[in-house]
Amino acid sequence: MRHIPVRSSYRRSSIVGAGIAAVLAAGLLAAPVGAQETDGPPSVESLCVPVDRELEELSGLIVADEVVYAIPDGGSSVAVAELANVLAGDCTVTRWLRSELNPFDPEDLTARGDRLWIADVGDNRAARETIALLSVDRDGANAVLHRLRYPEGARDAETILLDRVGMPIIVTKGVGVGEVYVPEGGTSVDDLPSPGPVDLVKAGELTFSMTETPGGPIGPFGSVLATGGAVNAEGTIAAVRTYTDVYFYADEDGDLLDALTRDPVVLPIPNEPQGEAIAFTADGDLLTASELGFPITGDPARPPDANEPLPPIQILRGVEDYVWSQVAQRAATPEPADDVAVPTQSDPAGAGTVAEPPPDDDALDSFGVRVAAVGVGLFISVLIAGATVLWWRRK
């Protein structure tokens, strides 16, 4: 099994640390970026609007045999909504699949064969000794619990990827960093014992850059928190989303761990209130969905408006073709010289690749000037925003 190179150590952020990191991110947002011209990227369009209020906290999607399945966040028992006609523009729930198995915090959904796999991996307070995958037949029968255990204590997560051989890949919800974990020995979900636990091993990290894509419950800070994942039908593209953008990692041979070491193609998913769900269709499109959510107002008890329509399920058409076109374009582009800025990440606006300058003294000096120019007032406001991020993660 190929491992992802670890690029930075994991630390639990303090409120002050989060504020300082946010100031640095603000400086990066002010930095100029260079882009190359590409064909226009896919943009989101609405398919339909769910009306079942049980989907106010829709947090996971999967498409299996043209049928869409969705899970709400929370609840005291397994509940999976079957929406058989979403691809035809109808978000009516055709039936609910339920089991008395009691999840802790289900956050994402995937499928393998005739079974659905619920990623019960949420842990906002970092208090769980184990996380779990819950498997259930597509008729709601035979729910089975499979426990997993992190090697170094609790983590919060909302993302599962399932590779070609059925190996689950968990991506945690760190600020700007998603740790990547897999079962020891690369165990497939087909071979997970019940109830377990099976030990997880860290395979590396993903990093997310702050963007200006509008949406999410906490402004630009939502652009650096991993909230959901999906894998295409061929098992060659892994997608990891934040509240505002989606990162695509591709490998023609289906080695997703190798794909996750590469520079992603990034597309925006703007204006979702609390986007947490994505799923590929068999045709290579991408569905995206959001919890109803609500803006942070200083009152953590403030609920969403009970009469507010639920967010639509949306689609980005031709995503797979676009991702492969970007991969081919990069492969055909000559490698830059050592003293030239290296493209490392797709422009969230779809205009090309964002070039990050090499870490020389001049760049650092320029960065320092930008941060200093932010001023004391912005520092204080960003510090408060950093505290808000941590409050949201522990909510």
Give CA–CA dist 226/228, Å, rounded. Answer: 6
pLDDT band at 75 (very low <50, low <70, confident <90, very high): confident
Q: Judge contact between 45 and 306, C-beta under 8 A.
A: no
The DSSP secondary structure of 17-69, one letter per residue, reads HHHHHHHHHHHHHTS-------PPPP--EEEE----GGGTTEEEEEEETTEEE
Q: Can you give the three-state secondary structure of 176-205, one letter per residue? A: CEEEEEEEHHHCCHHHCCCCCCEEEEEEEE
Give residue limits of the domains in the chain: 44-343
Give CA–CA dist 243/288, Å, rounded. Answer: 11
pLDDT band at 280 (very low <50, low <70, confident <90, very high): very high
Which phi and psi angles does 144 have, rounded to 5°? -130, 140
pLDDT of residue 16 exceeding 80, the answer is no
Mean pLDDT of 204-216: 97
Which residues have a Cβ under 8 Å from the Cβ of 14 and sit 6 or more positions away? none
- Residue-wise pLDDT for 320-349, tens only, equals 999 999 999 999 988 765 554 433 334 443
pLDDT of residue 99 exceeding 60, the answer is yes
pLDDT of residue 226 exceeding 50, the answer is yes
Work out the percent of the chain whose per-residue pLDDT is above 90.
68
pLDDT of residue 243 exceeding 90, the answer is yes
Q: Which of 115-129, 186-200, 287-301 has the lowest mean pLDDT?
A: 287-301
| More confident call, 141 vs 313 | 313
Work out the percent of the chain whose per-residue pLDDT is above 70.
72
Please tell me the pTM assigned to this model: 0.78
pLDDT of residue 301: 57
pLDDT of residue 366 exceeding 60, the answer is no
pLDDT of residue 316 exceeding 70, the answer is yes
* CATH number of the domain located at residue range(s) 44-343 in this protein: 2.120.10
